[in-house]
Chain A
Amino acid sequence: MKFKMKRTTIYGYLFILPWLLGFLALVLLPLIQSFYYSMNDMRITPVGLKFKYVGFNNYLDVWLKDMFFIQELLGFVLDTILRVPVIVVFALIIAMLLNQNVKFKGSFRTIFFLPVIVASGPVINQLTSQDATTIPLVNQDVIIGILAGLFPIWFATQIGELFGQIIIILWYSGVQILIFLAVLQKIDPSLYEAAKIDGGSSWECFWKITLPTIKPIVLVNFIYTLVSLANSNQNPIINLIYTNMFAATRGYGFASAMAWMYAVVIAILLLVIAFVFRERKPKRYV
C-alpha cells in the first residue's frame, strides 16, 4: 500500500512537472523579484542595472508624487463597481432570453459570442476612435442632464458614460452569457413545474429557484468579469504602469510599486465580491 502511494505521488509530480517549473521560474521568482524592485530605486546604466535600496519610498511616491495614479485609480474603481454588475446582469438577462424556446437560438448565440473572438485591444481602439461604439440614437448629454438632477454630478457623469459605452460593455459579456446559458439549461425543469402547480409566478420562480441555484456561477462570472476588466489593454492604469516602466525618471522600481498597489486594490475588490456572495448560514425552516 505504501509503495502504491508513493508511486502515484511520483507520477502526479511527473505530470505536473512542467507547470511546477514554470510556476517557480515565471510566477514565484518574478513575484519576489518584483517586490524587491519595488523597494529599490532602479536605474539602467550602461554598465547594467543599478539598485539603490529605498524602502517603501516608491510606494509613497506612487501615492504622493504621481499626478495621474490616484485620479486614474479612482476612475477605475468607480467604473468597475458600476460596470461589473451591469455586465453580469446583462449577461444573465440575455442568457435567460435565449434559454426560452426561441427559434434561431444558435444564430443569436453566435452573434453574442462574436465579440469574444474579434475584440482585441487595437480593434477596440480603432472602433472607439471612430465613435462606432456608441449608439447614435442614445444622446449622452440628455441622459447626464436628467441624472444630474437626481444624483451628484460626478455620479451622473459616470452613469452617463456607461450609456455612452454600452456597446463595449455588452461586448465584454460574451463568455458570461455562455456560462449562464450552460448552467440554466441544467436546472431541473421539474422544480419549475412543482412551483407552478403550487401557484408560483414566473417572477417568484426566478427569485426562489433560478437565482439560488445559479448563485455560485454568478460569483464565478463576477470574478471573471472583474479580472478581465482589470487586465484588459484598455485599462488606463495598465498603460500608466507601462509608460512608467520605460520612463527615464521613474523606471522599474517605481512601476513595480505601482503594479503592487494596483494588485492590492484589485484584491480588495475581489474580497468585496466574495464577501457579498459568502455562504450564509442556512436558515432553519420550521
Chain B
Amino acid sequence: MAMSKARSFYTVLTNSDLSYKEKWRLGKARLARFLFGFNDRKGFIMKFVIYTLLVSIGFVYLYPMLYMFITSMKSLSDLLDMSVKWIPTDLYTKNYKQAFSVMNMRESFTGSMLIALVPTIFQVIVASLVGYGFARFEFPLKKLLFGLMIFSFIIPPQILMMPTYRLLSTLELTGSLNAFIIPAALGQGFNSAIFILIFYQFFMQTPKSLYEAAEVDGASQLTSFIKIAIPMAVPAFIVSFLFSFVWYWNETYLTTLYLTSSKNELTTILLQLQQFEQNYQTMYPVTENSPNKINEGIKMAGTVISILPLLIVYFFLQRYFVESVDRTGITGE
C-alpha cells in the first residue's frame, strides 16, 4: 500500500503535462493525505504514534522478563562486569543447575501440580453447579444469596483467615492437600465467586427453551444439566479451569499458612522460591575460599524456573486466556 502511494506520488511529479504549480498543489494534497489521513483512514503520523506507543508500552511490560532471562544466563564474571548488560559472554547454565537442585524441583513440582490441579477440578465443577442453580431456577432469597456471594469476594481474606485456619487445624486438615480441596469443593476456593459469576453469566445466555424441551421429554434436572448445559458451556469450563489453575499455582498466602507451619513433605515451587536464599545457604554453605555466595544470576534462574511451567501453558493456550472476557460475556450483552 505504501508502495502504490509512493508510485502515485512519483507519477504526479514526473507528469510533464502538469505545470509546476499544479504539481506542487497535487503533491501537497497527496502528502497531506498520506500524513494526516482522510475520512476514516488514519494518516501515517497517527499510525506512527499508535504503534510507537504500543511497542514502547509492550517493551515496558516485557522488560522485567527480559532482564530476568538475561541475568539468569550470566556467570559471576558477567555479573560483575559492568560492560556486559544485555548479552552474556557465553551460554552459562550452571545457575539453572544450582537453582534446580536448591528448589528441590522434583518434590516441589509435583506439589505445585497437585495444589494447582486437584482443587481446580473441584472448584470448576462446583462453580458450574452453583452458577447453573443461580441462573436456571427461581427460589426464595435468591437475590440475597447472590448478593452474599459477591460480598464474599470483597471481604478481605485476612478476616476469615484466622478462624478458618483454626477450623481446619482442629479438623487436622492443615499440611495436606485437603486443606485446599475442601474449601474448593464447597465453593469457597480461591476466587470462587468469580468462577460462579462466569458460569452464571454463561448459563443466563443459553435459551431456557432447550431445558424446557428436555423436561417435556422426561429428562431429570441432573440429566439436562449434564446433557445440555455442560456441552454448551465448554468455553466457560476452559476459561475457568485455566484461570483457576494459574491462580492456585501463584497462590502463596494460603500455601504459606497451611503448609509451612506444619511439618510435612508437601511444598510448592513458589514456596521454594520464597525460601530460596535460606535453602541455598544450607545447601551451599559459604566457606573461606569457595565461591559459593548466592548471586543475582542464581536467584533469577530460580524465578525463571518457577514461572516456566505457566509460560509454557500460556504459550500454547494464550488465545483462551486473552479471549476469555469475550467468550464468557462478563461484560454483558
Chain A interface residues toward B at CB < 8 A: 5, 8-9, 11-16, 18-23, 25-27, 29-31, 33-34, 37, 94, 97-98, 100-102, 106, 108-123, 125-127, 130, 132-133, 135, 166-167, 170-171, 178-179, 181-183, 185-186, 217, 223, 227, 230-231, 233, 238, 241-242, 245, 252, 255-256, 259-260, 262-263, 266, 270
- Contacting B130 at CB < 8 Å: which of A16, A94, A121, A185? A16
Instruction: With both chains docked as a complex, state the minimum distance between the C-beta of A2 and any C-beta of chain B, in angstroms.
Output: 13
Question: DSSP majority for the A interface?
Answer: helix
A181 to B129 CA separation, bound complex (whole angstroms): 29
A-B CB pair tally, cutoff 8 Å: 246
Question: DSSP majority for the B interface?
Answer: helix
* Chain A residues within an 8 Å CB radius of B249: 120
A122, B270: Cβ atoms closer than 8 Å: yes
B270, A179: Cβ atoms closer than 8 Å: no
> Digit string of B56-96 for contact with A (CB within 8 Å is 1, else 0)?
01101111110110010000000000000000000000000
A81 to B188 CA separation, bound complex (whole angstroms): 29
* Chain A residues within an 8 Å CB radius of B133: 11-16
| A123/B307 contact (C-beta < 8 A), A22-B188, A111-B61, A231-B157 known | yes
B253, A110: Cβ atoms closer than 8 Å: no
* Chain B residues within an 8 Å CB radius of A19: 126, 130, 149, 186-188, 192, 196
* Chain A residues within an 8 Å CB radius of B42: 100-101
* Chain A residues within an 8 Å CB radius of B50: 97, 100, 102
A241 to B158 CA separation, bound complex (whole angstroms): 8
Instruction: With both chains docked as a complex, state the minimum distance between the C-beta of A203 and any C-beta of chain B, in angstroms.
Output: 13
Question: Which of B230-238, B280-288, B318-326 sits within the interface?
Answer: B318-326
| A179/B330 contact (C-beta < 8 A), A12-B133, A230-B156 known | yes
* Chain B residues within an 8 Å CB radius of A120: 249-252, 270
* Chain B residues within an 8 Å CB radius of A111: 58, 61-62
A179 to B198 CA separation, bound complex (whole angstroms): 13
> Digit string of B152-190 for contact with A (CB within 8 Å is 1, else 0)?
111111111111101100000000000000010111100
- B124 at the A/B interface (Cβ < 8 Å)? no
Instruction: With both chains docked as a complex, state the minimum distance between the C-beta of A162 and any C-beta of chain B, in angstroms.
Output: 14
Chain B interface residues toward A at CB < 8 A: 42, 50-51, 53-54, 57-58, 60-65, 67-68, 71, 126, 129-130, 132-134, 136-140, 142, 145, 148-149, 152-164, 166-167, 183, 185-188, 192, 196, 221, 225, 246, 249-253, 270, 273-274, 276, 296, 299-300, 302-303, 306-307, 310-311, 313-314, 318-319, 321-322, 324-326, 330-331, 333
A157 to B215 CA separation, bound complex (whole angstroms): 65
B299, A108: Cβ atoms closer than 8 Å: no
A132, B129: Cβ atoms closer than 8 Å: no
* Chain A residues within an 8 Å CB radius of B164: 26, 30
A185 to B250 CA separation, bound complex (whole angstroms): 31
* Chain A residues within an 8 Å CB radius of B51: 102
Instruction: With both chains docked as a complex, state the minimum distance between the C-beta of A214 and any C-beta of chain B, in angstroms.
Output: 9
A31, B156: Cβ atoms closer than 8 Å: no
| A26/B296 contact (C-beta < 8 A), A9-B140, A94-B57 known | no
